[in-house]
Amino acid sequence: MPPHLIPSHRNRPSDDPIFSLHQEANRRKESGETIVDATIGVLLGEDGQLAILPTAARAVREVHEAEWAAYAPIAGTPEFRRAVIDDLLADAPDLRACAVAVATPGGSGALRHAIVNFLEPGQAALTASWYWSPYKTLCDESDRRLETFEMFSATGSFDVAGLDAAIGRQLATQGRSLVFVNDPAHNPTGYSLTDEEWHAIVESIASRAASGPVTLLVDGAYMLYGPRSARSLAARLLPLAGTAAVLFAWSASKSYTHYGLRVGALVACLADDRERARVEAALSYSCRGTWSNCNRGGLVAITRLLVDPSAARSCTAERDHLKATLLARVDLFNRLARERGLHYPRYDGGFFVTVFVDRALERAASMAKRGIYVVPQVLASGRGALRVALCALASRDVPRLVEALSDAT
């Protein structure tokens, strides 16, 4: 009898590589070894415990049991959808006026919906050469592909010319382009785009969109951990209103330190009324055709954190405190890594940084033998890097980490 599993799914790895490394590090920790685990993208306090915004935890606890028990509407509660749009687009009125949103389980769900609704099967999404590896998994899972452009120019800035050429190629080969830009605090490099780089990206997309449908998706997983406010980023995209489709993958995971609550949204801005109505319907259909609806309790809790001014203020203050803790690690890393001559992009905040190395797999394995876990990455071109999750370390571990990284490079 032929195997039951369809051929195209027979060689799929069961474990996400990052979670497997994290589990291995945990096993060794539990057996008493002193391990530095810089693999996983969650923010830990200096005590090694998950950092949780107290106001967010309280809001979750205070959601009534009937809200947890009941179904949410397919596309999410109207209050949640409105609150996310207002949160993101308060300073970008032309985008806000043409925005629709659906609730998704985290930013991951938003990415999934973008892939299946803005690309045909077999077509490719476009992103930078260094990218969060689940982008590829999400594309594979939806029978789409992922293409990349070189992220950095020779001077270390974002290669807007490379992006522009790649969009042009996609328009020529597949008649449309869906571009993922993860900003600020890009995972895995830690790079945040400058205002000038955003300006050049917007110009490129606006001009390319004149010759075919171009959709820009801003993946804002780390939106509240970057150097500028999320709202001012959205305002930079205003020139795209009416030319390109602008999407935002919005996530409560890092912003409210509730990764497991699985609350997110896909926000889509389309100037044309008929097209916007079609997109809204298609996104809602996608919700029904995948997870049906998100958990209502999570949507209610996050809505409250967005719309209740006092809860919102408390979350900002508590998050600022966490950001300061993270920034102290980043500053220490930058000082020590520069002394050691490590090669990595400009890093001024955010959960991760990526150190460029050759033979990344070998080097990560030898660091793991010494009890220091980082995530190796190798591009199709053969160039490699080690992703370091500073979010998951204590400051006291940074010197040991940098020493191991510099031995490895």
Among 25, 39, 40, 41, binds ligand PLP (CB under 6 A): 41
Q: Which CB sits closer to ligand PLP, 190 or 384?
A: 190
Put residue 307 in one of left, alpha, beta given phi > 0 → left and psi -120 to 50 → alpha: alpha
Query: Segment near ligand PLP (CB under 6 A), from 90-98, 106-114, 286-294, 322-330?
Result: 106-114
The answer to whether 330 and 390 have CB atoms below 8 angstroms apart is yes
Tokens representing 37? 């685990």
Q: 37 has which bridge partners?
A: 373
Among 39, 77, 177, 187, binds ligand PLP (CB under 6 A): 187
- Residue 350 as a binder of ligand PLP (CB under 6 A): the answer is no
Among 55, 182, 354, 409, binds ligand PLP (CB under 6 A): 182
The answer to whether 221 and 264 have CB atoms below 8 angstroms apart is no
Shortest distance, CB of residue 135 to ligand PLP, whole angstroms?
8
Round to whole Å and give the CA distance between 163 and 143. 23
Among 189, 215, 253, 314, binds ligand PLP (CB under 6 A): 253
Q: How many CA atoms are closer than 13 Å to the CA of 91, on its beta-carbon side? A: 9
Round to whole Å and give the CA distance between 216 and 74. 25
Among 68, 259, 285, 291, binds ligand PLP (CB under 6 A): 259
Q: Which CB sits closer to ligand PLP, 142 or 366?
A: 142
- Residue 117 as a binder of ligand PLP (CB under 6 A): the answer is no
- Residue 377 as a binder of ligand PLP (CB under 6 A): the answer is no
Q: At what angle do helices 360-369 and 398-408 cross, to 10 degrees?
A: 140
- Residue 107 as a binder of ligand PLP (CB under 6 A): the answer is yes
- Residue 349 as a binder of ligand PLP (CB under 6 A): the answer is no
Q: Which of 236, 318, 237, 234 is nearest to 45 (CA)?
A: 318
Q: At what angle do helices 106-118 and 134-141 cross, to 10 degrees?
A: 50
Round to whole Å and give the CA distance between 34 and 43. 19
- Residue 204 as a binder of ligand PLP (CB under 6 A): the answer is no
Among 36, 76, 89, 106, binds ligand PLP (CB under 6 A): 106
The answer to whether 237 and 206 have CB atoms below 8 angstroms apart is no
Q: Which of 237, 242, 208, 270 is nearest to 91 (CA)?
A: 237
Q: Which CB sits closer to ligand PLP, 185 or 202?
A: 185
Shortest distance, CB of residue 41 to ligand PLP, whole angstroms?
4
Burial class (CB in 10 A: 0-12, 13-18, 19+), 118: buried
Q: Which CB sits closer to ligand PLP, 106 or 298?
A: 106
Round to whole Å and give the CA distance between 300 and 246. 26
Residues whose CB is less than 8 angstroms from the CB of residue 76 and which lie 6 or more positions away in sequence, other chains included: 101, 102, 103, 265, 287, 293, 294, 299
Q: Which CB sits closer to ligand PLP, 209 or 389?
A: 389
Query: Segment near ligand PLP (CB under 6 A), from 100-108, 112-120, 155-163, 314-322?
Result: 100-108
Among 39, 55, 108, 204, binds ligand PLP (CB under 6 A): 108
Helix (H, G, I), strand (E, B) or coil at 122: coil
- Residue 221 as a binder of ligand PLP (CB under 6 A): the answer is yes
- Residue 251 as a binder of ligand PLP (CB under 6 A): the answer is yes
- Residue 264 as a binder of ligand PLP (CB under 6 A): the answer is yes
Applying CB under 6 A, the residues found at the interface with ligand PLP are 41, 106-108, 132, 182, 187, 219, 221, 251, 253, 259, 264
